[in-house]
Structure 1
Amino acid sequence: MDAHLRELRYFVATAEELTVTAAAARLFVSQPALSKQLRALERRLGFSLFERLPRGLALTDQGSALLPVVRSMLETWDRAYVEARALSHPRQLIVGMQTAVGRDLQRPAVQGFRERAPGWTVSLRLVGWDDPTAGLADATSDVAFVWLPIPADNLATRVLVRENRWVALPAEHPLADRPEIPFADLLDEPFIALPAAAGPLRDFWLGMDARSGAPVIAAEATAAEEVLELVTAGVGVVLIAEGNARLYKRPGLVFRLVPDLPPAELAIAWRTDDPREAVHVFLNSID
């Protein structure tokens, strides 16, 4: 019987959380998608992994027997994959990001790394919003500039910048002539959302921490340029970090402070199971 690595990761996360809701949030997938994958895995195995209870889940005897073995398999695979990829690019560090970083962070970090690690090259990789870890989850990036929150499994983060959230509006929008816009005045506006795979990060940029109901979703987008094109076209509005409001200025678009929302956090992130010294050299190159 064969099982996919993704299904095994889903099994471990669900076994540790013992609720589909918490496991889905941790994995940045929808609850229906997670439940479907777990049922498919159980069908292939020929036995149940979980007992469905009125409140949450409990591992069956078979699930309890498999859990430590699957954990060990995944840990071994992750270590081996990192080591094998490093052999293909032995002196290359890949830095993931979801938007332009700016803020005078990326340039001095790359310069400092090159000075401290001669012979190494740095590659910058732009990753869509459908992967909130910017390539860390599948080890296609070695370190990454990310917006929080992101999945915590095997990842460590250090906050670099905290910035107010602003809103991007079409220049002709009725609210565009105001210097600040309280979030209450945006609750009924159609929003451009990150893809569902972004999970809690999608919720953060929809302002779910300040809503009591569901937002109006006008469209979804996987990259910053796509988001802002939709806003400029009048499809909807979007929350954006203050620094990105400066980076992405363009005709037909205005940015206004939303003063009553908690700030956004830009962080550097890395895998805790990556033993390579070069990763820590890069981290130490960031002030």
Structure 2
Amino acid sequence: MTQPSLTTQLRRIEGAIGGLLFTRGQTGSRPTPLGHSVLSRARPIVAEMTALVTAARDAAVGAGGLRLRIGSIGSRAVTGWLGRVHARLPDTDTTIHIEVSADTLLQLLATNQLDVALVHEFDGFPLHVPAGVERRMLVAREPRFVALAAGHPAADRPVIRLPDLADEPWIVDPTADDECAALRRAFTSAGLDPRLVHVRDSTTAAELVASGEAVRPCQPTADPAPGTVLRPLHGDPLAARLFLASRPCSLPPAELDALFGDLQDAYEQLIRANPAYRAWLHRHTSPLLRVPDRPDQPERSGRPGRPPRTEPPAA
């Protein structure tokens, strides 16, 4: 949802309620006392509506066929993952739900609105995993690269140090779990205090970077926008872990294994197509380098001999 659309919708709700629900400032919006009251009463209504819709969909699926509900953070691996799932399960009604927030995806899993979800967890900022949800490790440490204009003075360097970008505005999405906090911690550790710019729209963010107005952290598998380049940061001050989260009772174990294998294949295909990320993996002797560099290497599924690492359900 764009910012103008969100603002318009909030104003309509406030008009219907007859009072101010949020105060708006430079750092975002906060509920007023009336807003807190409305939220506390609205949540059970929303939960009941969600349960009604879920039950109705379950009944429809029982009458009409199989269903698989996939959730994910924004990732280029999603397209390849879905393609593999569709090819393997052509008769299954597969849906995708993309969220910026990993916490939101975990809550959707816990409330039976999703079957599986790809989530990330920033170093130093552990996720709150709901009871009954387990995670399988996809990538133990995925670095965050930096996107900057192709004409930037630092763009020719293979690895960039944070002090080299200390005077640049950094774009962050304030709705992304802990991204802003992780970036601030990295700068504080380096003795820096750059300006952070909150931008929720990815298209606008890419254009600001390409024009040289700002830089921003990005996933190493990202596709550089026109006029931009991606570079690793020295010492990897920003990193995250990637997991496939699920509820063991939602799908048979064999199907969860197959979904995890589909996701591994999709992620490894991105590695084969990304020289900069492959170079980073070589420098860090990552186990992901079991992936051949040859783009014509046949893809695997099932991963015999490579059982996924599973974290137990949260207590």
What is the TM-score with the length of structure 1 in the denominator?
0.58
> CA-atom RMSD, angstroms?
4.1
Percent identical pairs in the alignment equals: 23
When structure 1 is superposed on structure 2, of 209-218 and 73-82 the one drifting more is 73-82
Query: Given the alignment of the two structures, is residue 182 of structure 1 paired with residue 161 of structure 2, yes or no?
Result: yes
Equivalent-residue separation in structure 2 for 1:110 and 1:235 (angstroms): 40
1:155-195 deviations in Å (ceiling 9; x for gaps) = 43322123222100011212212211112333332111112
Following TM superposition, by how much is the alpha carbon of 1:216 offset from its aligned partner in structure 2, in angstroms?
A: 1.2
- Tell me the residue number matched to 1:14: none
Match of 2:171 among 170, 173, 192: 192
Equivalent-residue separation in structure 2 for 1:222 and 1:135 (angstroms): 20
Letter in 2 for 1:188: D
Equivalent-residue separation in structure 2 for 1:32 and 1:158 (angstroms): 35
Say whether the 8 Å CA contact 1:165–1:259 is kept in structure 2: no
TM alignment of 1:1-287, pairs within 5 A:
33=30, 36=33, 40=37, 82-90=54-62, 91-102=66-77, 106=81, 110=85, 114=89, 119-127=91-99, 129=100, 131-133=101-103, 135-138=105-108, 140-149=113-122, 150-154=127-131, 155-161=133-139, 162-195=141-174, 197-204=175-182, 207-212=183-188, 215-223=194-202, 225-244=203-222, 248-260=223-235, 261-270=237-246, 272=247, 275-277=249-251, 281-287=255-261
Letter in 1 for 2:184: M
Equivalent-residue separation in structure 2 for 1:109 and 1:123 (angstroms): 13
Equivalent-residue separation in structure 2 for 1:189 and 1:78 (angstroms): 43
Equivalent-residue separation in structure 2 for 1:81 and 1:267 (angstroms): 27
Equivalent-residue separation in structure 2 for 1:125 and 1:88 (angstroms): 19
Following TM superposition, by how much is the alpha carbon of 1:40 offset from its aligned partner in structure 2, in angstroms?
A: 3.0
Following TM superposition, by how much is the alpha carbon of 1:123 offset from its aligned partner in structure 2, in angstroms?
A: 2.4
Say whether the 8 Å CA contact 2:169–2:215 is kept in structure 1: yes
Say whether the 8 Å CA contact 2:168–2:214 is kept in structure 1: yes
Letter in 2 for 1:233: S
Following TM superposition, by how much is the alpha carbon of 1:227 offset from its aligned partner in structure 2, in angstroms?
A: 3.2
Equivalent-residue separation in structure 2 for 1:210 and 1:227 (angstroms): 21
Unaligned runs of 5+ residues in structure 2 are 1-26, 262-315
Equivalent-residue separation in structure 1 for 2:217 and 2:153 (angstroms): 17
Equivalent-residue separation in structure 1 for 2:164 and 2:239 (angstroms): 18
Name the SS for the 1:285 alignment partner: helix
1:48-77 deviations in Å (ceiling 9; x for gaps) = xxxxxxxxxxxxxxxxxxxxxx99x99999
Following TM superposition, by how much is the alpha carbon of 1:104 offset from its aligned partner in structure 2, in angstroms?
A: 9.4
Letter in 2 for 1:40: S
Say whether the 8 Å CA contact 2:54–2:113 is kept in structure 1: no
1:91-124 deviations in Å (ceiling 9; x for gaps) = 221222332433996158516852xxx7423223
What is the TM-score with the length of structure 2 in the denominator?
0.54
Say whether the 8 Å CA contact 1:134–1:145 is kept in structure 2: no
Letter in 2 for 1:276: S
Name the SS for the 2:260 alignment partner: coil
